[in-house]
Chain A
Amino acid sequence: MLSYILRRILAAIPVMGVVALFVFLLLRITPGDPAAIIAGDMATPEQLERIRASLGLNQPITVQFFTWIGQLLSGDLGTSLISQTPVTTLIGQRLEPTLSLALVAITLSILIAVPAGVMAAWRHGGFIDNLVMSGSVLGFSIPVFVIGYMLIQLFAIDLGLFPVQGFRSIFSGIGPFAERIVLPAFTLSTIYIALIARMTRASMLDVLGEDYIRTARAKGLTERLVLFRHALRNAAVPILTVIGTGFAFMISGVVVTESVFNLPGLGRLTVDAILARDYPVIQGLILLTSFIYVAVNLLIDLSYAFLDPRIRY
């Protein structure tokens, strides 16, 4: 098992390498001279030359690449062209709101969607099933911002239960953190609830037709045990796959929710950086999202082996 984990981690390294190469080339294959883009229309040739030198663009491309990789490995992602702040600092400031939002949203999705999907499969064709299925169609089709504004109108403005916008760190206390994260997390999770519930239902329907479910019932087990001990674990692999990819997408898809709820997160940093052509920041963000993708996939793969004893690579 340990060697399997090690091998998987080693296998992830080339993937990150390819991503790093791509990110490096991003600046170099962009049409036009990046220095000119950065300097703007009014720059003098001297200014351009200085910018080139500061970006290392006047050196051979291989030298540039290895210098850049060297900086990466020592944790230096460069400096923002706009604010002149180190990219690591910028990202560091924005990481907590986004991670908090995504983690709470995915937890909420799992807690709601998995039991809903299990119940729908258990009462296949019945009332609960119809409710879950039509609910998930709604979840898929209502735009995120509509749900966000509706929730704000209802719970924050009309009922006054939660603050309208903003973010507080979890380290400044659970209460203020929770009351500000609930609405955005629920907004973000609707589509994932729909997705995970449908996947859980489909996967459970397959498993409930298996012979060992009949065996479990023939043993006189209660339906709760049959569903959650015998069926769900066998149905878990596709559900986990959806949760994993869902979480990874969430990181890059938080921007709408962050805007609606005015959260100072990565999504808005990304949009701002792209609009300002702040290349070092864009590079840093791409690297970070790729890293999260790879790490989540690794975790999911490892959890397959944990869930199903037949999977041994």
Chain B
Amino acid sequence: MAMEHENISEEAVIELDGVTKSFGTQKVLDGVNLHVKRGEIMVVMGGSGCGKSTLLNHMIGALTPDSGSVKLFGRDYATMTDEELAETRMRFGILFQSGALISSLTIGENVALPLREHKSLDDNIIDIMVKIKLELVGLREHADKMPAQLSGGMKKRAGLARAVALDPQILFYDEPSAGLDPVTSAQIDQLIIALTRKLHVTSVVVTHEMDSAFTIADRMCMLDLGKVMRIGSRKEFEDLRDAADGELKSEQDLLIRQFLRGGAEGPITDRQQSSGYADDLSLVATRTQ
């Protein structure tokens, strides 16, 4: 077992139980159960269309499940009053894939925005807080720049500074490494670890970047076709990734291993290849002699 960090407690701060969600006839989440412990970095991974983003949107209360429940800090979104919902939302921050900065505001003003909107803090205190947040992500000297003047990695870090503006207890990251070069991506990984450990927050990271996942995760959750295939420690997933063919007991293990290794051949590929191509072409699925 990987050694658990001392900040991690058994208390679940995010609880998804039996969460099912369909869009039209397509079931995107199918009975998902996932509990995230206080202080841990939980990496949610899976291929495109596996339901990762939909899952994240349920965790932040942006989507309502068709059935099942989603609780944050023990409160079910379904039964929260508007006031409770607003209070809950101030307890988490989100790093969006794009950084989601407001282009007409400087980086410093972007970070100050949640502080000005939600709190009656003195302007001098807000200015100092903005400098502290930007220092956290290494952007203090860029406070007066506009988002368009920043590189992709800097935008991501600025988005992170804004996400932590209100000292959230949970941080959600949506594909934090997407579109970044390997060095910048590694820097973001270290930032995620440092913020989680030093600020005692809980982090949920949605990604399909395996290098990043294996660097930052305390535990990992693998989604496939809207279902949780496996939840386990980073060590359990490392063992699965490194396992030889003879050591794997099930088709599911082979599928997870293919995903973790990023291999071109395996059950995921077989599934795509056998998905009714002949039917689509209105052919009888037998070989021509």
Question: Do A and B come from the same complex?
Answer: no
Question: Contact residues of A with B, CB < 8 Å?
Answer: none
